Structure 1
Amino acid sequence: MTNLDIEIDDKGILIPESEQTAVSLLDGHARIRVPGNTTRDSFTVVEHTGQRGYNTPLHYHHIEDEVFMVLDGALRMVCDGQEQLAEAGTTMVIPRMVPHGFVAISNEVRFLTIHSTPDLGNKPQFDLFLAAEMPPAQATRMPTEEIGPDLDHIISLGTTYGYSYAGPAPTP
């Protein structure tokens, strides 16, 4: 069973770590902590870990708002053309359709992303994208030598999962 097979009932649900999908993503590690189908498709939660240089290109989501909560380390965030430092304890809210990207500037980083879909009829896509398109992680924590799909392939999946490429990734 993968975490995408878990469904919520009216009493809530406990999702053991053993049932959470972990994948390799752009030289980092992403674990789907809360899949969309357990929240009636209103939001997902993903934990990211990576080392200095872990990044995503500038992109925007068509139907999902995104929240970054930095737990350990630091990220350089670029949001709508503005650079900001996001250190442990900070939160950044990024509305859909706003170009954004990040790069880890500390030796190691750990942060959560929460993807919400406020419009009825839409459902979170990020967890579906990770589970369907990224290779399962062999290690449970960073560092790892695993390599996921190349950036060109990830960019090409945008139309399927509701995101668009907006430019190169920030650098450390």
Structure 2
Amino acid sequence: MTDLDIEIDDKGILIPEAEQTAVSLLGGLAQIRVPGKTTRDSFTVVEHTGKRGYNTPLHYHHIEDEVFIVLDGALRMVCDGKEQLAEAGTTMVIPRMIAHGFVAISDEVRFLTIHSTPELGNKPQFDLFLAAEMPAAHAARTPTEGIGPDLDHIIALGTTYGYSYAGPAPMP
């Protein structure tokens, strides 16, 4: 895993997996598939894998909309206080400033998150947060619980990366 150092042009770009950043995040694996700098800072794509119980606390993004696309397994999503089941094949769109969180309720889960910025002048922050603040992980495996910064540290980083804590994580 390396910091992607590429020239952006209008002809497209191939990003080999070896050049994608993979990090441990709250007991799961987050792999930055498309960093914001490759899209002129218009969006970021992150692939998440985890086991039952992989979750994030309720939080909201100040400048990013977020889209979840569940590829395998199932998540219990909480969005604006409402719980919903997101199984393989489902998509959930979460506008910025809406509190949300998830928990994996299947034995294993794999999903994409797409972070976009609807206002000119803003750029996605989630990939920057992952690359700068989370410990590198081997992309071929899902990390075990206890790897990476604790939740208090992640919450404290919110002002730097444009998100705020909104409550505890959903439980399986």
Say what the alpha-carbon RMSD is for the aligned residues. Answer: 1.3
Deviation at 1:8, TM superposition (A): 2.0
Counterpart in 1 of 2:149?
Answer: 149
Alignment match, 1:63:
63
Partners of 2:81 and 2:6 in 1: CA distance = 38
> How is 1:7-156 mapped onto 2 (pairs within 5 angstroms)?
7-138=7-138, 140-142=140-142, 144=144, 147-156=147-156
Query: Once the two structures are aligned, what percentage of the paired residues are identical?
Result: 88
Aligned pair count reads 172
TM-score normalised by structure 2 residue count: 0.96
Q: Which moved more, 1:46-55 or 1:143-152?
A: 143-152
| TM-score under structure 1 length normalisation | 0.96
State the secondary structure of the residue aligned to 2:127: helix
Aligned-partner residue type, residue 58 of structure 1: L
- What's the offset of the Cα at 1:140? 1.9
Could you list the per-position Cα deviations for residues 41-76 of structure 1 after superposition, in whole angstroms to 9, with x for gaps in the alignment?
A: 000000000000000000000000000000000000
Q: Larger deviation: 138-147 or 159-168? A: 138-147
Inter-CA distance 97–145: structure 2 relative to 1 (3 Å threshold)? closer
One-letter identity of the residue aligned with 1:18: A
For structure 1, the residue ranges without an aligned partner over 5 or more in a row are: none
